[in-house]
A and B are shown apart, each in its own frame.
Chain A
């Protein structure tokens, strides 16, 4: 009986998750119609041809990937430094505001990512509120073109877009920590800092890592944030390269090859995350 229950879902995932991955491989390993420039997928692995990989594995790709890693890493670290105190505060000191705070914390989930980016596009215009406030505070003496290719804008955009997805798992992890452990640490004479470092931090490690991975992975595949907030070649991420190749008339092979390379590059994170989740599931059982 139980396999029957699982069957529709499993069949679905095989047909629409595993097979598509095979299709990416087949396109990347396939050939190109010389007249039309159309990608011709090669379904037979024995005839796979890795030319496309050789074509995209060049220093440009690597440098763009390096930039992507830098953006993602900085955005991830910033998110953690901003997100941890917030999650900590709400779980530990939310008090009577806890529900309100949680509602506000969840709110961004109900506002589309693109909408939130659009809000920033408006704020960051030359005559937008950000410039006005900074000029009023005399931090700037003339408007800064935030949207004219600033790495800072892109990184902060990534942080803004993804941080809610980090804070919630972090909150859940912190909230799960048994208060009696903290009290025990206090009773044994640990200072607040020591309690935090030796009890809270280790116990929330799992949540930190899980939350970070959950925001790092989509950041690696992001192309719309730099598009909306910059549009300058200097801020291109790997996602933009993939998007370009996939929509160019004869770029599908190379786009597919880049997708595979990107997947391989982030698979360490993916596998780590899967192990974490599997462990959590076992514990829950």
Chain B
């Protein structure tokens, strides 16, 4: 769970012979095992993607290639089934809004908690961590009850879902940004202030730019966890219009699904992949002076 974006060392490149002769562990066995793991983790998804192009209705027997479930089926394809498109729109909308709202709140909280000394700050640090360790079912049902019984003017539906997503996203932002804050230290700000900058200017001109990679990573992570969320979304859902893609998958996987579901999932995957590639490119630019570490690796580190 360490969000230490800056830590870590790069393995020196090894030659093949060295790799085989490696004295530590049993690399060949380990290599085989690891690749098998990767196959196990990826192949089911690839097969699911394959079946999105199935010509027939089966999701377990291949009946030829077609775009039926994307475009050509007049009722059931993603193109022609408004329910599928609505779910995708809802997921993306929630993720974008969550990202845009949770990130600034989280960045503020991270900076505030890191610089502010006092008992309240200790309590804040603890409070901030709780959403991370609370099972989603618990948080989801708590939010559900509070919206039904107390915050009754927030109706179940998109707004409630948005509140829920932001609630569990804030902590992730704090963790990521705080890691970077610790890595940066206070020296740069202090130097800026020694040179006559006000604390506000030091923050704006020095600290925020240095936090940029972490802020950017936060945006990406929040987008990812929001778009993947199922429990909170479904607890706080209102009518049909607040159905997200994971909810769609859950409900239809239990009831007569057809490959259009696989098509929706594939499109969502494409979307995420586009986002991550963009993210890596941006991250590379933002973190340009940051050292030799690859963007991928720093993403790996940033993930919870």
Q: Do chains A and B touch in the complex (CB under 8 A)?
A: yes
> Nearest Cβ in chain B — how far from A262, in angstroms?
7
Interface residues on B, range: 35 or more
> Nearest Cβ in chain A — how far from B217, in angstroms?
12
* Pairwise interchain contact B150-A23, C-beta atoms closer than 8 A: yes
> Nearest Cβ in chain B — how far from A62, in angstroms?
18
* Count of chain A residues near B, Cβ 8 A: 120
- State in angstroms the CA–CA spacing of A193 and B57 once bound together: 53
Chain B contact surface mostly: helix
Identify which of B13, B51, B120, B164 contacts A122 (C-beta below 8 A). B51
Given contacts A118-B249, A221-B137, A243-B137, contact A95 B13 (CB under 8 A): yes
Interface residues of B in 223-268 (CB under 8 A from A): 224, 227-228, 230-231, 245-246, 249-250, 253-254, 257, 261-262, 265, 268
* Pairwise interchain contact B300-A102, C-beta atoms closer than 8 A: yes
> Nearest Cβ in chain A — how far from B162, in angstroms?
11
Ordered by A's residue number, 22 sampled pairs between the chains whose C-beta atoms are within 8 Å are A5-B111, A9-B174, A10-B124, A23-B142, A24-B138, A26-B149, A41-B145, A82-B37, A89-B33, A91-B11, A101-B38, A106-B296, A109-B224, A116-B45, A117-B249, A118-B262, A168-B300, A172-B301, A176-B8, A192-B23, A243-B137, A281-B125
> Nearest Cβ in chain A — how far from B241, in angstroms?
19
Chain B residues in contact with chain A, CB under 8 A? 1-2, 4, 7-9, 11, 13-14, 19, 22-25, 27, 30-31, 33-34, 37-38, 40-42, 44-45, 47-48, 51, 59-61, 105-106, 108-109, 111-113, 115-116, 120-121, 124-131, 133-139, 141-146, 149-150, 163-164, 166-167, 170, 174, 178-179, 182-183, 199-200, 224, 227-228, 230-231, 245-246, 249-250, 253-254, 257, 261-262, 265, 268-269, 272-273, 276, 294, 296-297, 299-301, 303-304
Chain A contact surface mostly: helix
Query: Quick check: is A273 within 8 A (CB to CB) of the other chain?
Result: yes
* Pairwise interchain contact A92-B25, C-beta atoms closer than 8 A: yes
* Pairwise interchain contact B250-A106, C-beta atoms closer than 8 A: no
Residue of B nearest to A126 (CB): B60
Further contacts, 4 of them, CB under 8 A, given A3-B120, A8-B108, A195-B24: A23-B142, A119-B45, A120-B44, A284-B2
* Pairwise interchain contact B300-A106, C-beta atoms closer than 8 A: yes
Residues of A near B149 (CB, < 8 A) are: 23, 26-27, 39, 41
Given contacts A89-B33, A192-B25, contact A123 B47 (CB under 8 A): yes
Query: Quick check: is A205 within 8 A (CB to CB) of the other chain?
Result: no
Identify which of A98, A121, A242 contacts B253 (C-beta below 8 A). A121
> Nearest Cβ in chain B — how far from A231, in angstroms?
7
* Pairwise interchain contact B48-A122, C-beta atoms closer than 8 A: yes
Residues of A near B300 (CB, < 8 A) are: 102, 105-106, 168, 171-172
* Pairwise interchain contact B112-A5, C-beta atoms closer than 8 A: yes
